[in-house]
Amino acid sequence: MTVEDYLAGQVLLIDKPLNWTSFQVVNKLRWEIRQAFNIKKIKVGHAGTLDPLATGLLVICTGKMTKQIDGFQGQVKEYTGTITLGSTTPSFDLESEINETFETKHITNALIKQTTASFIGTIAQYPPIFSALKKDGKRLYEFARAGESVEIKPRSITISEFEITQITGLNIDFRVVCSKGTYIRSLANDFGKALNSGAHLSALRRTKIGDFNVLESKSIEAFIASLKDE
């Protein structure tokens, strides 16, 4: 592709690696495109944040395609991951340390699979306090890190599919298809409560956004290599 192609607008499918923020991926790609074509400015943005501890599909838009970001963000998403039973964390994932443990002896494989049914459909979900959502001009995670309590209102989200793919001890592998605005960390936390126990998200991978599939994506390294071939 030429610089004109990137400026006119491209949709890039990137497989976000572990421990990178979505913002870091955008910055890296913008810098590499600028270097490859010796240009000073180009618009680059992503269509839906992935947490640092999540991997998988990031839809990156360049140039005039950044105007389509809102449309891509609104599309249905698919995730796979692992929920670990018996303990919770303040962030609902492994970004923070375990703060409480719970009994799990009463939990059977049948109960786990049966409980997924209560999450199918349009439900009210409380976002995690460790999130980038804003309240009174501040990110929720800023309140959390300062140890301040804040009222969080539930949001209406839709889960169309929630499938348990494997159960290994306290680790539950799953696949979920959901609407924009769904927090899988909150789903993991709520799932633990529904089992009269506790749970946190221990792994997450985004596999689809609308018709885009992570199987069609490139690693950051592969994208940079393709730029050098152009």
Classify strands 171-178 and 155-168 as parallel, antiparallel or unpaired.
antiparallel
Residue holding tokens 């990110």? Answer: 139
Classify strands 87-88 and 199-209 as parallel, antiparallel or unpaired.
unpaired
Torsions phi, psi of 182, nearest 5? -80, 130
Q: How many C-alpha atoms does 41 have within 13 Å on its Cβ side?
A: 2
* Distance (Å) of CA 73 to CA 38, 67, 149: 30, 11, 29
Distance CA 12, CA 152 (A): 34
Catalytic residue among 15, 51, 93, 190: 51
> Is 51 among the residues known to form the active site?
yes
**In this structure, what token pair is assigned to residue 76?**
């249905």
Neighbours of 170 (CB within 10 A): 16
Neighbours of 115 (CB within 10 A): 17
Distance CA 50, CA 40 (A): 27
Give the residue among 197, 108, 180 at the shortest CA–CA distance from 188.
197
Just list the catalytic residues: 51
